[in-house]
Structure 1
Amino acid sequence: MIREVLGAIAITGATISVAPSAAAGYEGDVPNMNYQASFGAPCDNYERFIFGRGPSGQAEACHFPPPNQFPAATIGYWVISYPLYGVQQNGAKCPGPQSAAQTPDGLPMLCLGAQGWQPGWFTGAGFFPPGG
């Protein structure tokens, strides 16, 4: 009886250890990724190093709601991100629209076609470069 119980525990442990999770190792991941991101959950890293991965491995970004929202928001929230392409240089050639990356100092970047990688955020109101 003890042997069966120990066997079941060993099998359960092995199964859990090979279960998929949103851990480091996805192609395109950037420095300081948050691997505990969860779509719609609150976050506070909405200026630099905004990228994370949800439980399924989906790329997410921490966004702060627009300032004219009522009631005023005091914290950001996780949203789905475009696919990540690692750390890129400003103006470097990029794969096409709907692509995201990060500057070496942690600002989010978007692929703007012929303009290449540009630091900034995209919202429903358009593209916003970071304030200087």
Structure 2
Amino acid sequence: MSENGLHQLHKNIRDEASSDVDTVHTGPVTKETQIIAIYGKGGIGKSFTLANLSYMMAQQGKKVLLIGCDPKSDTTSLLFGGKACPTIIETSSRKKLAGEAVSISDVCFKRDGVYAMELGG
């Protein structure tokens, strides 16, 4: 990158950093259901971010369903103090072998206002 280009990049970054931050929306909710998905390469903090974001939203009175898709169950184990939830895949396989139906209470758990399920891979 040329010196001029680098100077312009630094100027743009400084301008953006000094601009006013948008205020948080506090008006009426215009949509009944909002879906947030976080994805990316491994080890960048997705599970940590989702567990904390879910908890924070539940503490604000929002109804939250967290669905983890990690083979290690990191997302829900963070929420449940290190204890991994049984995954939907393993639970449905076990129930099917036993000739039993899977109920929502077999795969959905609640902690501090957050409902959580772990797909398991």
Q: Kindly indicate whether structure 1 or structure 2 has the higher relative contact order, using CA contacts under 8 Å at least 6 residues apart.
A: 2
Is the TM value for this pair above 0.5? Answer: no
Q: Which has the higher strand share?
A: 1
Q: TM-score, normalised by structure 1?
A: 0.24
Report the structure number with the largest CA radius of gyration.
Answer: 2
Normalization by structure 2: what TM-score? 0.25
Structure with greater proportional helix content: 2
